[in-house]
């Protein structure tokens, strides 16, 4: 059985909200879905046109932070590789219940969909940690 968790609410913390970014009209904001089952929490974010080097996933206590940039396309349709190009920067915070572990956490980017899987269980890891993102083979 899978249940959904609100991206800004944690069932174990009641009505506690994560800070939401202020996004200017027309700016990029990923669509995020969060689900929970008995073994893990799964976060899926739609990131069309965003590559591995343009997104970072971190676990900070009871929050998963997605941040990155969508680079503009050139006239030929290719993404601009310059780091100083006009990027649409984004970040999204998802509050998760306590008891998720960074060890065993996985993040995978496939066809513009980022899937982050966080196993449940007691944690002895540091409270903040980056999660490596892999491309689906």
The domain that holds 36 is classified in CATH as 2.60.40.790
Domain range holding 70? 3-18+29-135
Q: Is residue 24 part of a domain?
A: no
Nearest to 96 by CA among 136, 57, 51: 57
Q: Is residue 34 part of a domain?
A: yes
Nearest to 55 by CA among 80, 21, 85, 92: 92
Nearest to 53 by CA among 65, 39, 41, 70: 70
Q: Is residue 118 part of a domain?
A: yes
- What is the predicted pLDDT for the residue at 131? 85
pTM of the model: 0.69
pLDDT in tens, 90-128: 889 999 887 888 888 999 999 999 999 999 887 656 567
């Amino acid at each position: 059985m899978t249940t959904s968790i609100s991206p800004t609410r944690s069932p174990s913390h009641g009505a506690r909200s994560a800070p939401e970014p202020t996004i200017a009209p027309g700016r990029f904001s990923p669509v995020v879905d969060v689900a929970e089952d008995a073994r893990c929490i799964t976060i899926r974010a739609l990131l069309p046109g965003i590559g591995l080097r343009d997104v970072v996933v971190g676990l900070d206590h009871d929050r998963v932070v997605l941040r990155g940039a969508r680079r503009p396309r050139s006239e030929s349709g290719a993404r601009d590789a310059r780091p100083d190009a006009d990027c649409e920067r984004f970040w999204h915070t998802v509050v998760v219940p306590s008891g998720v572990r960074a060890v065993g956490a996985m993040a995978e980017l496939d066809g513009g969909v980022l899937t982050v899987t966080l196993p449940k269980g007691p944690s002895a890891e540091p409270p903040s940690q980056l999660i490596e993102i892999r491309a689906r083979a």
